[in-house]
Structure 1
Amino acid sequence: MSGPNTDYDPVEVTPLKAEEVDAARDAALAAIAGAQDLEQLKQVRLEHAGDRSALALANREIGALPPQARKEAGQRIGQARGAVNKALAERQTVLEAEHEARILVEEAVDVTLPTDRRPAGARHPLTTGAELIADIFVGMGWEVAEGPVIEAEWLNFDALNLGPDHPARTMQDTFWTDPPEDHLVLRTHTSPVQARTMLTTTPPIYVVCPGRVFRTDEYDATHSPMFHQVEGLAIDEGITMGHLKGTLDHFAGAMFGEGITTRFRPSYFPFTEPSAEVDLTCFVCRGSGLKAGSSESCRTCRGEGWIEWGGCGIVNPRVLRACGVDSDRYTGFAFGMGIDRTLMFRHGLEDLRALFEGDVRFTTAFGSEL
């Protein structure tokens, strides 16, 4: 029996030739050196060190060689692949450092610069307006009082001298809750807050009461079933109409500018006696009734020089007695006007609905500052 043929030499495999291996290695090293960023280096790794690269395919051909030829071919391929992997690692380190350095420059943030992010919203003008009004009266030594929007019928009507047959108590004017026997309403004014204050506080009393109120009005440019009022109440010894006039003149000047005053026109309200409508000097024509520099009538006051603002009067003694205040010792005054209407005057708004539509562009324009 003959022994194994150790001299057998198959056809030489082309990828394993020394010059082919050196060429594949040199091409890989050149491509690695030429990679300008990490993305390019990733493509080079796939082409020259991946499973389908020339060196990887050559490595698979080693198995076709006779045993005595495999060692030399294996060393040659291994050295070439090692050189390529070493070059890849070194280039990877260099490119990562360059990438990080570039990010530090390109994405640097100057935290001292003002932000250019647009705000998500702004404070509503009714909120800031109510706070401004409250601040004016707090500066005069008054207090701010609040109450519930669902109010007892007695506090909303009876305590304020609005009798059982008063038209304001009908369903055409007032929102009543169910069941009717609960005698609860959505308050039609903030005067119940004044009644609550008189029932729980010993005079002297100086409070301002801003808040939401509800009436069954149509929703249009000048009316809304929900709107905002501010009412004031002063109870003390010796209170007169003169104190009321001085208070409202100060309030008007603080809201609309120096020189703006008020005038009273006789009127009637069940909870005050005597009562008056409050008119405001037109803050556009300053009471002249004329457009500036023209003989035309002022559009804001329609040539009258005055703008209707609210109502006021001396607190009716019946209201004082109903709320437990000694009407023989104390007198007081009360006033009320719409916050919505005041803001429309202040900002030149022509449509009340703009205050309730929730457009952030309107809120940003009028809500952030007053």
Structure 2
Amino acid sequence: MSIQEKINQYTEEINNWTPHSQQEVENYRLKFLVAKGIVKGLFEEFKNVSSEEKRLLGKVLNEFKQLAEARYAETKDLFEVSADSSKDSKEQDLTLPGPGFEIGTRHPLSLVRKEIVEIFKKLGFIVAEGPEIEDDWHNFTALNFPEEHPARDMQDTFFIRKQEGNDIALRTHTSSVQVRMMESGTPPFRAIMPGRVYRNEAISARAHCFFHQIEGLYIDEGVSFADLKQTLYHFVQELFGEGTKVRFRPSYFPFTEPSAEMDISCTICKGAGCNMCKYTGWVEILGCGMVDPNVLTNSKIDAKKYTGFAFGMGIERITNLKYEIKDLRLFSENDIRFLRQFETETI
């Protein structure tokens, strides 16, 4: 019998073969696919045929080999599924409740954001939100940024469209929400503005091109810097625990005057000095100050009648201190091993 005749015979046998047990599948493998099986034997015979026959039979023989292997894989998988289903149907008690769904967890940034919001809500602050795509007026000009201010430079801001007199960009801070609130209402205002912001920075363990902020605004008659200090002191004691020390350092922001940065005693070393606080015992957590009269005027508020304070903090920085997380990139990588560490946290 020639090789072609054998291939035709075995092809018909394979196409008509239907196994009924695992043993039959194994017998098929032993007959066709092992080292001394039919497929291997046909290839050994193929070595001895003439060159002209090899050109004719080579493709046919390869197709036969692929058919034999595919038929084995197909029937083996089908047989295993059938066996598992039969086994499951005999062993399962259908009166029992089904398996439950795995419940996800809150992201650490969501946990801290919620905690901060709850603290300020108790002080009478409402939550306000605004668009992440902003124009130049709300993001810079109304907040007293001079035209030559470095924050307007392309290296800091993601511009979407440059247009004469009012560029469109991804907001660089949530202070733009303050402007929208002041423009659309009348004092008093007492609100916090949580949200995501964007800056064109190199991504590293200490910086990212997007992050989250919470800014606060309080405007009324007779608001003073003492009100600002007491509000933030209360916030720190609530979030980090009683006994946390606070200090204010003079600083500069275009939209506040006077301005300050607020430090707290390092939550990791308790002020003794460590890598997190660069061995100073202090960690900066937010910027703050009295709202500049120019900002009030730009928002159509009488700067002679009303005063106010504003503050802003990065949620990532607060989360770093609260959970001792040293790499900002972990917050956006969705590593399940990292996120599962917060399964027991509640809000």
Asked whether the two chains share a fold, i.e. TM above 0.5, the reply is yes
Q: CA RMSD in A?
A: 2.4
SS, match of residue 130 in structure 1: helix
Say yes or no: does 1:122 pair with 2:105.
yes
Q: Deviations over 1:168-209 (max 9, x none)?
A: 111111111135346211000000001111111211111001
* 1:238 aligns with one of 207, 211, 222: 222
Identify unmatched segments of 5+ residues in structure 2.
Answer: 1-89
More deviation, 239-248/297-306: 297-306
Aligned partner (choices 144, 166, 174) of residue 161 of structure 1: 144
The verdict on how the C-alpha distance between 1:242 and 1:301 changes in structure 2, with shifts beyond 3 A counting, is: same
Q: Quick one: distance in 2 between partners of 1:323 and 1:149?
A: 20
Aligned equivalent of 1:315, options 283, 291, 308: 291
Give the aligned residue type for 2:204.
Answer: D
Aligned match of 2:122 in 139, 154, 159?
A: 139
C-alpha contact (below 8 Å) 2:219/2:308 kept by paired residues: yes
Q: Which residue of the partner structure matches residue 331 of structure 1?
A: 307
Instruction: Confirm whether residue 354 of structure 1 aligns to residue 337 of structure 2.
Output: no
Contact 2:133–2:168 (CA under 8 A) maintained in structure 1 = yes
TM-score for both structures, normalised by structure 2: 0.69
Q: Deviations over 1:89-138 (max 9, x none)?
A: xxxxxxxxxxxxx978x565379xxx77533x322222222222111111
CA contact (8 A) 2:215 2:310 kept: yes
- In structure 2, the residue matched to 1:39 is none
**SS of the residue aligned with 1:177?**
strand
Distance 2:127 2:116 in 1: 10
Question: Shift in Å at residue 365 of structure 1?
Answer: 1.8
Matches of residues 209-228 of structure 1 in structure 2 within 5 Å? 209-228=193-212
Aligned residues: 259
Name the CA distance, whole Å, in 1 between partners of 2:141 and 2:162.
19
Q: Distance in 2 between matches of 1:367 and 1:339?
A: 19
On the 8 A contact 1:315/1:332 being kept in 2, the answer is: yes
Query: 1:28-61: per-residue Cα shift (whole Å, max 9, x none)?
Result: xxxxxxxxxxxxxxxxxxxxxxxxxxxxxxxxxx
Q: Which amino acid in the other structure matches residue 220 of structure 1?
A: S
Match of 1:186 among 159, 163, 170: 170
The residue type equivalent to 2:237 in the other structure is G
Partner of 1:202: 186
Amino acid at match of 1:327: A
Residue equivalent to 2:253: 269
Deviations along 1:278-324, one digit per CA (max 9) or x if unpaired, are 1012223333x2xxxxxxx4343233221111211111001111111
Given candidates 248, 256, 281, the residue that maps to 2:240 is: 256
Structure-2 separation of matches of 1:322 and 1:367: 46
CA distance in 1, matches of 2:169, 2:182: 20
Show the counterpart of 1:282: 266
Separation in 2 of the partners of 1:280 and 1:319?
28
| 1:109 partnered with 2:92 | no
Q: Is 200-209 or 252-261 further displaced after alignment? A: 252-261
Percent of counterpart pairs with the same letter?
Answer: 48
Deviations 1:71-96 (A, max 9, x none): xxxxxxxxxxxxxxxxxxxxxxxxxx
Instruction: Give 4+ residue runs of structure 1 displaced > 6 Å after superposition.
Output: none
Picking from 166, 174, 198, the partner of 2:157 is 174
With over 3 angstroms needed to count, the CA separation of the structure-2 counterparts of 1:136 and 1:164, relative to structure 1, is same
In structure 2, what is the equivalent of residue 151 of structure 1? 134
**CA distance change for structure 1 residues 158 and 347 in 2, over 3 Å: closer, same or farther?**
same
Residue 302 of structure 1 pairs with residue 302 of structure 2: no
**Cα distance, 1:159 vs. partner?**
0.4
> Could you tell me how far apart the structure 1 residues matched to 2:185 and 2:269 are?
43
- After TM superposition, the structure 1 stretch with the greater mean CA deviation from structure 2, 344-353 or 171-180, is 171-180
**Structure 1: 5+ residue stretches without partners:** 1-101, 290-296
Flag the 1:174–1:186 CA change in 2: closer, same or farther, 3 A: same
Question: Is 1:343 equivalent to 2:319 in the alignment?
Answer: yes
2:232 alignment partner, SS class: helix
Secondary structure of 1:267's partner? strand
What secondary structure sits across from 2:211 in the alignment?
strand
Worse overlay, 123-132 or 310-319? 123-132
Report SS of the residue matched to 1:213: strand
Find the aligned partners of 2:327 and 2:344 in 1 and give their Cα distance.
20
Matched, 1:229 2:213: yes
Alignment of 1:85-100 (within 5 A): none
